[in-house]
Structure 1
Amino acid sequence: MNERDQVLQAAAELVAAFARNDREAYFGAFSADASFVFYTLEQPLLSRDAYQALWDSWRAEDGFEVLACTSSNAFVSLQGDVAIFIHDVATELRMQGEHHFTQERETNVYTTQATSQDHHGHRLP
């Protein structure tokens, strides 16, 4: 499997884990020092643990649950040992008993070296 296909596979697995609310598989796809930027937050989350804590608080306090998530319009740019993955993400979720639908564009950064960390924290197999 070439590097582009590895990125596409890793991204598909990440989206699938998110879509089925598989907390362990979803967060397992990120390195411990991954960083996350959400437009709804005032500042970035600078570790996987910080994001997990926020996720857990959303679930406990707001009844957060992902109902569906699909990826489309994928683009992969290979830059040495870094791969940049851009896609459109359609997400349906429930918070505080209400259904929400979002359509966003997301960028994930992957590294092809398991010992190197990257901006968004994804590692390729």
Structure 2
Amino acid sequence: MIAAQQVLEAARALVAAFAANDTEAYFAAFSEDATFVFHGHGRVLPSRAAYRELWDQWQRDGFRVLACEPSNPMVSLHDGLAIFIHDVTTRLQVDGRVVDSQERETIVFQQQEQGRWLACHEHLSAMPEQLPPI
């Protein structure tokens, strides 16, 4: 269970950095070769540098994270990898407007040689409110 607790702590730090709009701490939580899939963006981002470039552009355009509340965390471990899934309620400032969203996020963490867990993939999906349960 130690590894699962380490992953939960790494995920908590990543989400806290995002919620604080702390760019440096947020991107430090990802490996250089991390990939990103966001439901509101038209293409896969193939690296941390590609996402950072997009993030910096968003920031120049007035994007700010105002709050991010995670819930329902789940971790599964797989030989040096961990899959972390949670729901997030996020409040953003976009184009001068405040936007609230509910999403489900999957983050794959990989344990580094020194034991630290870094995110190597993030997938964010919208959670439509009106879908019937399956």
Q: TM-score higher than 0.5 here?
A: yes
How many residue pairs get aligned? The number is 120
* Structure 2: distance between partners of 1:78 and 1:96: 39
* Structure 1: distance between partners of 2:12 and 2:47: 22
Unmatched tracts of structure 1, length 5 or more:
none
Match in the other structure for 1:109: 108
* Structure 1: distance between partners of 2:113 and 2:22: 23
Residues 62-83 of structure 1 show CA distances to partners (whole Å, capped at 9, x for unaligned) of x000000011100000111110
Q: Tell whether the 8 Å contact from 2:30 to 2:119 is kept in structure 1 after alignment.
A: no
Match in the other structure for 1:78: 77
State the shift of 1:118 in Å. 6.8
* Structure 1: distance between partners of 2:60 and 2:31: 24
* Structure 2: distance between partners of 1:19 and 1:53: 19
Match in the other structure for 1:16: 16
* Structure 1: distance between partners of 2:34 and 2:55: 15
Q: Tell whether the 8 Å contact from 2:36 to 2:47 is kept in structure 1 after alignment.
A: yes
* Structure 1: distance between partners of 2:104 and 2:17: 18
Unmatched tracts of structure 2, length 5 or more:
123-134
Match in the other structure for 1:93: 92
* Structure 2: distance between partners of 1:77 and 1:17: 23
Structure 2 length-normalised TM: 0.83
Structure number having the greater strand percentage: 2
* Structure 1: distance between partners of 2:58 and 2:109: 26
State the shift of 1:33 in Å. 0.8
Structure 1 length-normalised TM: 0.89
SS in 1 for 2:93: strand
Q: Which runs of 4+ in 1 moved over 3 A?
A: none
* Structure 2: distance between partners of 1:85 and 1:119: 11
Residues 89-124 of structure 1 show CA distances to partners (whole Å, capped at 9, x for unaligned) of 110010111000011000000112348x87417xxx
Aligned ranges 1:6-85 → 2 under 5 Å: 6-61=6-61, 63-85=62-84
* Structure 1: distance between partners of 2:79 and 2:16: 27
